[in-house]
Amino acid sequence: MNVPYPISDIQKAEFASSGHILLEGVATNAFVRQYRPIIRDACMHFGTETRPIEERDTYGKAFLQTTNLWQRDQKVRDFVFQSRFAEVAATLLGVEKVRLYHDQALFKEPGGGPTPWHQDQYYWPLDTDRTITMWMPLVDIDSNAGMLTFASGSHRGGAVDDLAISDESDRILAGHVADKRYPVVRAERMAAGDATFHLGLTIHTAGGNGSEIMREVMTIIYFADQTRITEPRNSHQRADLETWLRPRMPGQLADGELNPVLN
């Protein structure tokens, strides 16, 4: 893990054109073996969902979400602060340095519902399109276990609508993806430690978890250094400003203590 992960010019071009890419072995087997129990325990400890799946709404059924574990657990911080991950993010974005936005563990339970089609950037008061998420399963998964699925090239259409993740975003963006004939792309399987990276504007979804195992996924979101904060455009962006960017304010550089440079 101390050596950089190699990215070829072909992979960079693929990412620029598709808005997403699958990379194998971004974390080594030994590294995943070491950190999987740490992240799982942190999710158990800090997770707050207690309702049975049947009683939750669409968002609640999609995954158990536990955020910014790096602030709560020193060992998870070691995982999130890996410069190897951040360097891949910077290389794919074509920028020199990236900052941490936040991390989230997204565990989709067996029987968990689909993740509606959405664009991440709707949530983020950041004045850049240079935002990227690393999505890494900590267990081997097949396509029926809630694989992340992308509308290839959809980032080039910009922000499509002002929609939070919901049944409505799912309906409208599924229609948009079909109208624009974006290829819908997902991996058949991913091994623990493989990762996908996608841009904040890439339209994406994930299926329900039809397998019998918990889909344990860890994500890390980065943005380009020197990015400024925008005036929040919705309640989610106001919450993000408070939660992930404090003490910085709209108009300022997003370079507060919660947003360190990681490469």
Ligand X SMILES: O=C(O)CCC(=O)C(=O)O
Selected from 115, 119, 131, 259, the binder of ligand X by CB under 6 A is: 115
Shortest approach of ligand X to residue 247 CB, angstroms?
Answer: 26
Cβ-count burial 192-212 (b if 16+ within 10 Å, e if not): bbbbbbbbbbbbbbbbbbebe
Residues 139-158 that bind ligand X (CB under 6 A): 146, 148
Kindly tell me which of 7 and 201 has the beta carbon lying closer to ligand X: 201
CB 19 within 8 A of CB 200: no
Please name which of 108, 90, 187 lies closest in space to residue 145, comparing C-alpha atoms.
108
Instruction: Provide the token pair at 65.
Output: 């979400």
Residue 226 or residue 234: which is nearer to ligand X going by CB? 234
Burial of 83 from C-beta contacts in 10 A (0-12 / 13-18 / 19+): middle
DSSP H or E segment with residue 37: helix 29-46
Q: Which residue has the tokens 């989709």?
A: 108
| Residue 263 in the binding site for ligand X (CB under 6 A) | no
Residue 43 binds to ligand X (criterion: CB under 6 A): no
**86: nearest Cα among 255, 226, 258, 221:** 221
Among 106, 190, 199, 224, binds ligand X (CB under 6 A): 106
Q: Give the pair of three-digit tokens for residue 44.
A: 């158990």
- Residue 204 touches ligand X, criterion: CB under 6 A: yes
Q: Which residue has 């081997």 as its token pair?
A: 140
From the list 32, 39, 61, 63, which residue makes contact with ligand X (rule: CB under 6 A)? Answer: 63
Nearer to ligand X, 95 or 217 (CB): 217
Task: Return the residue of 22, 82, 103, 120 that touches ligand X, per CB under 6 A.
Answer: 120
By beta-carbon proximity to ligand X, the closer residue of 96 and 144 is 144
Of 133, 169, 227, 259, the one binding ligand X (CB under 6 A) is 133
Point out which residues bind ligand X (CB under 6 A): 62-63, 106, 108, 115, 120, 133, 135, 146, 148, 204, 206, 217, 219
